[in-house]
Amino acid sequence: MFWVIHILLGMVIGLEFHSAWLIIPIALLSHFILDYIPHWDGFFDKELFQETGFAKITKRDFMVKLIDFSFMILITLYFYSMYIEGGMIVNKNYLILGAFMALLPDLVKIGYFTRLKKRKTFKKYLHFHSRIQRDINWKKGLIIQAILLIILLLYLNRLI
Ligand SMILES: [Zn+2]
Domains in the chain, number = 1
Cα 91 to ligand 1 centroid, rounded to whole Å: 26
Q: Residues 6 or more apart from 123 whose CB is under 8 A from it? A: 53, 117
pLDDT digits (tens, 9 = 90+) for 112-144: 889 988 899 999 999 999 989 888 899 999 999
Q: Which residues of 100-135 are buried (b: 16+ CB within 10 A; e: fewer)?
A: bbbbebbeeeeebeeebeeeeebeebbeebbeebee
Q: Which domain holds residue 135?
A: 3-156
pTM above 0.85, yes or no: yes
Cα 7 to ligand 1 centroid, rounded to whole Å: 11
Cα 85 to ligand 1 centroid, rounded to whole Å: 32
